[in-house]
A and B are shown apart, each in its own frame.
Chain A
Amino acid sequence: MKRFKGLRLACLVLGLGFLYLPILSVIVYSFNESRLVTVWSGWSTKWYGALLENQQLLSAAWLSVKIGALTATLAVVLGTLAAYSLVRFKYLRGQAQFELSTAAPLVMPEIIIGLASLLLFVSMEKLFGWPAGRGQTTIVIAHTVFAMAYVTVVVRSRLAHVDSSIEEAALDLGARPVTVFFTVTLPTIAPAIIAGWLLAFTLSVDDLVVASFTSGPGSTTLPMVVYSSVRLGVSPEINALATVMITLVSVFVLIAGLVLARSRDK
């Protein structure tokens, strides 16, 4: 194996470079003094200052975080219920159809989900007067549709590995089904639920297509702001924003990883 050592190192460097060089260049250029994104003219943190003063970006970021958190919470509740019924109620009528319908958003093109949601919201508004216009609520609903599918997959695989006799043991010891769910089932699938929440949050914050279809005036999410401003030429502020987001996400992922690792050790 020794003679391939050089080759293996080269592969490693190439692979990591392919993945992380673009991100690294964004971080480096966020400290660029120049207004032109591609020309380096010295170190500066002024774009971070400008970022803090850009009300449009900040409010879009806040909206995205709110939508992400709402979506993730809703998706976790619905996805966990779906996963639970798929794994535990084996003789449910229409089981196969239900399974298919929960998994469908995974393979459905985002643009279709976006368009379909828009059509639904518009016709619902005509019929019942709700939702009145489009905005945060409609984006959350549309995001939940596809985020829930991912949560279902994650929770379901965990639940399938949980021995159902521990739930029976709890029943036998005098716990009612609802108590069993909260004291036994939920704690044992908690790591999957946390992972599902993070996944749903990321998917929602990241989404541009579905949000574009289902947003209304005054509800512009962060990806939408970034996308529209980039069309007019990349501003260094966007680089600074990207760096902040990368840092936040890294910290987030690190914390989640530590939490999961500790729960496994216990």
Chain B
Amino acid sequence: METPLIEVRGLRKNFDDVTALSNIDLSIKEGEFFSLLGSSGCGKSTLLRILAGFEQPTEGRVFIQGKDVTELPPYERPLNMMFQSYALFPHLSVFNNVAYGLKRDRIAKAEINERVEEICQLMQISKLMNRKPHQLSGGQRQRVALARALVKRAKILLLDEPLGALDKKLREDMQFELVNLQEMLKMTFVVVTHDQEEAMTMSSRVALLNDGLIEQVDTPRRLYEYPATRYAASFVGLSNLFEARVVSHDDDLVTLWCDALDAELSVRHAQPLVPDMVVTVLVRPEKVSITAPDAQADNSVVGVIENIAYLGDVSIYYCNLPNGQSVKFTQANVQPAAELPLDWGQKVRLGWRAENCNVLVA
């Protein structure tokens, strides 16, 4: 088996009495764009700082290319990091900021100049070489920080909320630029982000953290379509979560009774479930559709539209069932706004197919 580029085994980190991380096992392969996703305080930044060597784990080991680096100080680790605040040296020009890492390696001056120029060209900051950091815009600073972290050609780049300080438009452009950069330089990126969209857009794999524990490590698509836990389902995207009791399980079709919906549900689920077990059923709002009263759907409920959130491209509808339970569903706004097909107070019949929902046991 191929050794992973970065491997974390049995990691735990305590700050005084507070446990920031526990039971962390991860392996990141070469060439991956790996995201650490989670809400603030979940430990994702601490994990990144442990990888960089700024924090020592209380327990567990970190390996890079199979070599134990747990005890190595940051300046001896074969990786570079881009900081959330960019951390540019305020007293140095852009050129000297970028050249700083190369100078530490005692590389010949001519080569330093060449490599700095090359990376600055790539990052489109060649014209800013003589400026000081405070003379740059937020976007330019970010490029300088990226250039400084890339110029040493380490195999691994750690990025702490790389796009956090940019406005929305610039952030979307930079997302693609980062991905292109990573593919072009054939590097491994490990990104910390709290923005699920960002993680979904850029990553090849995402580790979702919650309260110091890893909830799930998966591709963005699988994380969305097959979340492992309730937390994963609710953190990534919109979701309807209902508690239900298993009635029977034939082949891969589960029949459940859901008190909240006052309905029987059928869900495709491969793993065997025992009758009477209480599980959670996840239905993504875009998989719910409006059905004709006489149509046959695997699952259906009837309710009244209570709220509409118009987002432009789609609208989110909140539909109330007679017993008070709310079901979210989305509809693409294909028709012009004047002809919205649904209105407040309208009675609708909603249905979704058995293969379009999931059973969560955790």
Contact = CB atoms under 8 A, between A and B. Distances in A.
A binds B: yes
Contacts of B148: 169, 173
A168 B87 contact: yes
Given A168-B54, A266-B132, A173 B80 contact: yes
Given A184-B89, A187-B91, A174 B105 contact: yes
A88 B101 CA distance: 23
Interface string B268-281: 00000000000000
B91 A165 contact: no
Interface string B16-29: 00000000000000
A208 B75 CA distance: 49
A172 B81 CA distance: 7
Given A174-B152, A266-B132, A169 B81 contact: yes
Given A173-B100, A173-B152, A174-B104, A165 B85 contact: yes
B73 interface: yes
B74 A166 contact: no
A231 interface: no
Contacts of A123: none
A188 interface: yes
Interface string B67-109: 0000001110001110111011111000000001100110000
Contacts of B91: 187-188, 190, 266
B87 A166 contact: yes
Given A172-B80, A173-B100, A179-B104, A166 B90 contact: yes
A262 interface: no
B62 interface: no
A171 interface: yes
B88 A171 contact: no
B301 interface: no
B88 A166 contact: yes
A169 B87 contact: yes
Contacts of A179: 104
Interface string A180-195: 0001100110100000
B52 interface: yes
Q: Is the interface of A mostly helix, strand, loop or mixed?
A: helix
A190 B91 CA distance: 10
Interface in A148-187: 163, 165-166, 168-176, 179, 183-184, 187
Given A166-B88, A166-B89, A188-B90, A171 B75 contact: yes
B251 to A, nearest CB: 54
Nearest to A169: B87
Nearest to A176: B75
B185 to A, nearest CB: 17
Contacts of A171: 53-54, 73-75
A184 B88 CA distance: 10
A173 B80 CA distance: 7
B83 to A, nearest CB: 5
A170 B100 contact: yes
Interface string B136-162: 000000000000110010000000000
A37 B359 CA distance: 101
A72 B170 CA distance: 50
Contact of A172 (B75, B84, B85): B75
B143 to A, nearest CB: 15
B280 to A, nearest CB: 41
A165 B87 contact: yes
17 contacts: A163-B85, A166-B88, A168-B52, A168-B54, A168-B83, A169-B81, A171-B54, A171-B74, A172-B75, A173-B75, A173-B148, A176-B75, A179-B104, A183-B100, A187-B91, A188-B89, A188-B91
Interface of A: 163, 165-166, 168-176, 179, 183-184, 187-188, 190, 266
